[in-house]
């Protein structure tokens, strides 16, 4: 079939996009400039251009004119439909993560490899916030927070007709800036452990490892350290089930979590790229629950080892000669394997690097053990559901299309069934995009939560098989 | 039993799915020429807009048909012999059937203007129509859309999204004059204004003017105005696709005539959906129903009859919905364009011109008869129950929160609606009792 015409790109739009592109290009000379002062100037000029261009373009595209669902041409432009620009973006993002994780550690003399100049350009900011020089993780945190804030601005304009989307977007921006950037920085400035109050085990898997707990108790001091350990345990084991019972998984995944925050803002242009097929759903189930099992096992073994109830072999370093784990005890080796494959490669490199190809929630959907845990709670112990409005569905598929978690929402809507799925993060975009007002995120009594509408006779045919 | 269904639209497919459920052993064949798989017709516009890809408007994945043993044949059904119970396809194949369902849908009403055959002039109902529009609208600057109904405004939105300057020619004095009361139409007109659509009300198409290549260059209107247009969309309604039935000698008026079991004049041959015309429609109901929802209901009903559980077609409480640019519309029950003498019509509007609720109720019993909402979402089940029970309007208003289906954090307008009602009908005082949501009871 021929492709429909694409709406013309106006001159102001081209100019604003050029400003963004110029800013991104300006980061390259920063990386290779020998003159630190000039590199720093370049760096902040680059950030300024990217910020101004992104916000200017967002306002120009979404902020003027009438408010409403604006998804035009998203499957017709290469940048958001796996075209050349999308592949380029994916390669650059993936490359950045590879360099960040494995080639930019401090060499002991304050040199951070290929990212060295970029890191040191941030020294004044880091000194002001954290009272110490920047490192590669501060650079990453700054980029991350900036992405959430700038693209959050875009999301605020794009979805300004929906109070739910406005408030939710503001929430992820707030938690990223406050809880995942400023507060950890301030803690460091006061010589306290860099603790993220918005991340919990099992997503932040080491927060309940014996090593981290003893470190927090030691370095956090008697009051703060105990509070941090208490906070982490309570959030994981008490607040998570309680909040999920009342509001569903969304209280975390699309309102608080930093991974979700990036997906909902920077990842929003790519949300429709998630695969909706039954095969993708099967992969999801095959991956995410074993990963949850893996981290639960590792955590349990670490505690059993620390308590001394495991046979000695488990906690004795072994010269196995295996890559990655040689010289570690079997339990520490497992923890290392989890950290390398799941914590770094899956959540970072694939999770964000593949945004332009597989959508913004690859990690959340296929890998995140927190999402798996929240999902089980949401499916079985929650008041949350997405209601279908009687027989009003026209099977148009807009809901499935915007679902970043790859749920084929229309399969439920066209049968009049409520959507109760473990993976749903409650972003609400299906409801926002529905042209017939069919879908609504609701917390209601648990009785009849799966009850389909009487106004449409649901065919009982299988969808998962 | 071999059930053969002609047409893979919502009617034919709903019938096939229902029959599969009722008769797991039956052989079911769907014959259609438009597309190999069932598509959502109302979603065609979203492919053009670029919201969706062509494969995204298939309500069921490709594996679905085989797994549920629904045989799909892409071919034109050219003739059938009701005596011999056989169907001839354009491929030359002959199918024998035990039961035959005609679900051939409708097609654009062609119109008979001079220049109708020019390139760049078309209707918009089918997948081939979408392909044709996709080919013919590259690089155009101006377009004219003829007709002030649902397809007309969809075409305007599609074209405008590509930067095309659109003029709509609408015969009535306001938008969708046969269905919408003037207040509702005024809200739609606001949408047309903010989306820069030019509208000529009270104006019809007179002629389509060619360029030297045989392509449309301009239109002339009934007022004598000449509007340049490199593409013209004709959206003056649809008509039943009844050629096959006519050829086979079935009784056909506007559509294929059916009784309340949706049976045609020939034995074992049924018709449902857009192509069917009811011989004796219930009072207040139309003989030819051309909606997605009625197609689905008729398809389901006829499946019971085809599977040996005869079930007369009952329309039930009417409902419909649409979206006019950014303005959502839902209706439950009957809200005629002009008020009925036996009914009150209460209409509340938000001053911002983006939300409206109209409630019709009987003057004698106060029973609600219909509701229109624009820029508000209302719960189908709640209205179905109120309308079926003939709930008095004051009680409905007091409990209006129960019908509120807007997302969380949206501003609630029930208090303002009740205040307006109390002002207009002080003899029926109402106090708002019900808040929104599933816990509001």
Average pLDDT over residues B196-220: 97
Domain final residue pick, B236, B269, B285: B236
pLDDT at A260 over 90: yes
Kindly state whether residue B102 falls inside one of the protein's structural domains: yes
pLDDT at A458 over 60: no
Average pLDDT over residues A390-395: 95
- Give the per-residue pLDDT at A221: 84
CATH architecture of A381-460: 2-Layer Sandwich (3.30)
pLDDT at A463 over 60: no
Q: Minimal Cα distance from A269: which residue of B?
A: B51
Rounded CA-CA distance A429/B124 in Å is: 28
Distances in Å between the Cα of B346 and the Cα atoms of A69, A219, B387, B418 are 30, 68, 16, 11
pLDDT band at B284 (very low <50, low <70, confident <90, very high): confident
Assess A7–B contact: CB distance below 8 Å, yes or no: yes
B214 and B279, same structural domain? no
pLDDT tens digits for range A312-327? 999 999 988 888 998 9
Enclosing H/E stretch for A431? helix A429-433
Closest of A237, A38, A298, A259 to residue A144, by C-alpha: A259
pLDDT tens digits for range A158-197? 999 999 999 999 999 999 999 999 999 999 999 999 999 9
- B409 and A164 within 8 Å at the Cβ level: the answer is yes
Closest of B345, B115, B337 to residue B210, by C-alpha: B115
Q: How far is A259 from chain B (nearest CA, A)?
A: 24
Place of tokens 């015969």: B171
Q: Is A83 helix (H, G, I), strand (E, B) or coil?
A: coil
- Give the per-residue pLDDT at A459: 56
Domain final residue pick, B217, B236, B255: B236
Average pLDDT over residues B411-419: 97
pLDDT at A149 over 90: yes
B411 and B353, same structural domain? yes
Positive/negative CA dihedral, A459, A461, A463, B4:
negative
Assess A13–B contact: CB distance below 8 Å, yes or no: no
Rounded CA-CA distance A339/A102 in Å is: 13
CATH number of the domain encompassing residue B23: 3.50.50.60
Domain final residue pick, B215, B236, B257: B236
Range(s) of the domain holding residue B37: 2-107+239-306
How many alpha carbons lie under 13 Å from residue A87 in its C-beta half-sphere?
A: 4
B408 and B390, same structural domain? yes
Positive/negative CA dihedral, B262, B264, B268, B273:
negative
B101 and B32, same structural domain? yes
pLDDT band at A220 (very low <50, low <70, confident <90, very high): confident
Kindly state whether residue B432 falls inside one of the protein's structural domains: no
- Give the per-residue pLDDT at A465: 39
pLDDT at A461 over 70: no
- Give the per-residue pLDDT at B441: 57
Partners of residue B276 on adjacent β-strands: B256
For the record, the structure tokens of A387 come out as 């209601």
Query: Can you list the alpha helix ranges (DSSP code H) found in A33-162?
Result: 36-58, 84-102, 116-121, 123-130, 136-158
- Give the per-residue pLDDT at A464: 47
Count of structural domains within chain B:
3
Neighbours of A450 (CB within 10 A): 10
Rounded CA-CA distance A66/A78 in Å is: 26
**In A35-45, which positions are buried (b, 16+ CB within 10 angstroms) versus exposed (e)?**
eeeebbebbee
Rounded CA-CA distance A246/A256 in Å is: 16
Contacts of B378 in chain A (CB under 8 A): 437
Mention every residue, 6+ apart, whose C-beta is less than 8 A from residue A389: A436, A437, A438, A439, A440, A453, B377, B379, B380, B405
Share of chain A above pLDDT 90, in %: 89
Kindly state whether residue B430 falls inside one of the protein's structural domains: no
Mutation site, B10, B20, B21, B59, interface A, largest A CB count within 10 A: B59
Q: Residue A149 in contact with residue A172, Cβ under 8 Å?
A: no
Q: Of A19-33, B140-154, B185-199, give the lowest mean pLDDT range.
A: A19-33
Average pLDDT over residues A354-363: 96
Neighbours of B281 (CB within 10 A): 15
B54 and B102, same structural domain? yes
B267 and B369, same structural domain? no
Q: Average pLDDT of chain B?
A: 96
For the record, the structure tokens of B209 come out as 């003017």
More reliable by pLDDT, A33 or B373: B373
Q: Residue B331 in contact with residue B321, Cβ under 8 Å?
A: yes
Mutation site, A10, A11, A75, A280, interface B, largest B CB count within 10 A: A75
pLDDT tens digits for range B93-151? 999 999 999 999 999 999 999 999 999 999 999 999 999 999 999 999 999 999 999 99
- B67 and A465 within 8 Å at the Cβ level: the answer is yes
pTM here is 0.96
pLDDT tens digits for range B228-281? 999 999 999 999 999 999 999 999 999 999 999 999 999 999 999 999 999 999
- Give the per-residue pLDDT at A453: 86
pLDDT tens digits for range A77-105? 999 999 999 999 999 999 999 999 999 99
- Give the per-residue pLDDT at B283: 84
pLDDT tens digits for range B165-192? 999 999 999 999 999 999 999 999 999 9
pLDDT band at A348 (very low <50, low <70, confident <90, very high): confident
Average pLDDT over residues B397-418: 97
Q: How many CB pairs under 8 A join A and B?
A: 178
- A445 and B439 within 8 Å at the Cβ level: the answer is yes
- B50 and A77 within 8 Å at the Cβ level: the answer is yes
Distances in Å between the Cα of B94 and the Cα atoms of A139, A447, B266 are 71, 52, 19
Enclosing H/E stretch for B394? helix B393-398
B247 and B103, same structural domain? yes
Instruction: Kindly report the backbone phi and psi dihedral angles of residue A311, in degrees, each rounded to the nearest multiple of 5, phi listed first.
Output: -55, 150
CATH number of the domain encompassing residue B332: 3.30.390.30
> Domain locations in chain A?
279-372, 381-460
B229 and B156, same structural domain? yes
Kindly state whether residue B201 falls inside one of the protein's structural domains: yes
Query: Can you list the alpha helix ranges (DSSP code H) found in A198-257?
Result: 210-219, 222-234, 240-247, 250-253
pLDDT band at A29 (very low <50, low <70, confident <90, very high): confident
């Amino acid at each position: 079939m021929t492709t429909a015409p694409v709406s013309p790109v106006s001159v102001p739009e081209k100019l604003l996009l050029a400003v963004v592109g110029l800013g991104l290009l300006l980061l390259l000379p920063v990386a290779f400039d020998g003159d630190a002062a000039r590199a720093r100037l370049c760096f902040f000029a680059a950030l300024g251009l990217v910020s101004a261009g992104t916000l200017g373009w967002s306002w120009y595209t979404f902020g003027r004119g009438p408010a409403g669902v604006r998804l035009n041409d998203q499957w017709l432009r290469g940048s958001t439909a796996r075209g050349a620009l999308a592949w380029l973006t994916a390669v650059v993002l993936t490359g950045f993560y590879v360099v960040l994780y494995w080639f930019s550690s401090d060499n002991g003399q304050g040199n951070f490899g290929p990212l060295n100049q970029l890191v040191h350009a941030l020294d004044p900011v880091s000194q002001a916030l954290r009272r110490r020089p920047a490192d590669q993780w501060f650079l990453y945190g700054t980029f991350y927070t900036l992405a959430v804030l700038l693209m959050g601005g875009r999301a605020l304009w794009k979805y300004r007709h929906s109070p739910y989307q406005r408030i939710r977007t503001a929430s992820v921006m707030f938690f990223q800036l406050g809880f995942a950037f400023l507060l950890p920085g301030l803690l460091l400035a006061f010589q306290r452990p860099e603790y993220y109050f918005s991340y919990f085990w099992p997503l932040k898997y080491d927060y309940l490892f014996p090593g981290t707990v003893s470190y927090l108790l030691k370095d956090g001091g008697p009051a703060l350290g105990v509070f941090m350990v208490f906070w982490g345990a309570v959030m994981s084991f008490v607040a998570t089930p309680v909040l999920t019972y009342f509001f569903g998984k969304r209280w975390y995944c699309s309102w608080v979590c930093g991974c979700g925050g990036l997906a909902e803002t920077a990842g929003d242009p790519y949300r429709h790229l998630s695969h909706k097929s039954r095969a993708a759903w099967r992969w999801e189930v095959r991956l995410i629950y074993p990963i949850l099992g893996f981290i639960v096992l590792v955590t349990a073994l670490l505690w059993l080892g620390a308590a001394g109830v495991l046979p000695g072999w488990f906690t004795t370093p072994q010269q196995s000669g295996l890559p990655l784990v040689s010289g570690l005890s079997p339990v520490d080796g497992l923890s290392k394997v989890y950290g390398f494959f799941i914590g770094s490669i899956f959540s970072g490199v694939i999770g964000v690097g593949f945004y332009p190809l597989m959508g913004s929630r690859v990690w959340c959907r296929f890998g995140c053990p927190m999402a798996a845990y929240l999902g089980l709670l949401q499916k079985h112990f929650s008041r949350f559901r997405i209601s279908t409005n009687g027989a009003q569905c026209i099977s148009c598929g807009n809901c499935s299309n915007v679902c970043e978690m790859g749920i084929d929402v229309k399969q439920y809507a066209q049968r009049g069934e409520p959507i109760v799925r473990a993976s749903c993060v409650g972003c609400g975009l299906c409801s926002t995009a529905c042209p017939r007002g069919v879908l609504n995120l609701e917390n209601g009594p648990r009785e009849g939560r799966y009850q389909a509408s009487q106004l449409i006779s649901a065919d009982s045919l299988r969808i998962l098989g | 039993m071999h059930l053969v269904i002609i047409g893979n639209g919502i009617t034919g497919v709903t019938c096939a799915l229902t029959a599969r459920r009722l008769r797991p052993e039956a052989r079911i064949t769907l014959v259609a020429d438009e597309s190999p798989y069932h598509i959502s017709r109302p979603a065609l516009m979203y492919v053009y807009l670029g919201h969706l890809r062509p494969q995204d408007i298939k309500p069921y994945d490709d594996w679905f048909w085989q797994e549920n043993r629904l045989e799909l044949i892409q071919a034109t059904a050219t003739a059938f012999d009701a005596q011999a119970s056989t169907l001839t396809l354009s491929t030359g194949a002959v199918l024998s059937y035990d039961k035959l369902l005609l679900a051939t849908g409708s097609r654009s009403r062609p119109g008979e203007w001079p220049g109708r055959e020019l390139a760049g002039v078309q209707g918009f109902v089918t997948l081939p129509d979408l392909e044709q529009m996709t080919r013919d609208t590259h690089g155009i600057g101006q377009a004219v859309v003829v007709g002030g109904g649902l397809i007309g405004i969809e075409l305007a939105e599609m074209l405008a999204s590509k930067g095309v300057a659109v003029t709509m020619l609408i015969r009535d004095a306001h938008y969708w004059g046969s269905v919408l009361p003037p207040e509702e139409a005024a809200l739609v007109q606001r949408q047309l204004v903010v989306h820069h659509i030019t509208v000529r009300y009270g104006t019809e198409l007179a002629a389509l003017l060619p360029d030297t290549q045989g392509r449309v260059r301009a239109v002339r209107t009934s007022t004598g105005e000449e509007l340049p247009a490199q593409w013209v969309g004709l959206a003056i309604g649809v008509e039943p696709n009844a050629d096959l039935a006519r050829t086979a000698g079935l009784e056909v008026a506007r559509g294929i005539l059916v009784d309340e079991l949706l049976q045609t004049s020939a034995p074992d041959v049924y018709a449902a959906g857009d192509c069917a015309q009811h011989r004796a429609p219930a009072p207040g109901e139309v003989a030819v129903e051309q909606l997605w929802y009625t197609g689905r209901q008729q398809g389901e009903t006829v499946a019971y009859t085809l599977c040996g559980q005869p079930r007369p077609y009952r329309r039930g409480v009417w409902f419909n919905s649409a979206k006019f640019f950014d303005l959502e519309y839902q209706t439950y029950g009957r809200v005629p364009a002009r008020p009925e003498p036996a009914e009150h019509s209460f209409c509340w509007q938000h001053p911002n011109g983006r939300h409206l609720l109209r409630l019709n109720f009987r003057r004698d019993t106060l029973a609600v008869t219909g509701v229109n909402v624009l820029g508000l979402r209302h719960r189908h089940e709640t209205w179905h129950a109120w309308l079926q029970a003939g709930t008095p309007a004051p009680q409905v208003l007091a409990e209006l929160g129960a019908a509120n289906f807007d997302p969380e954090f949206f501003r609630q307008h029930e208090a303002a609606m009740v205040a307006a009602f109390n002002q207009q009908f002080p003899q029926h005082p109402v106090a708002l009792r019900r808040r929104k949501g599933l816990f509001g009871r």
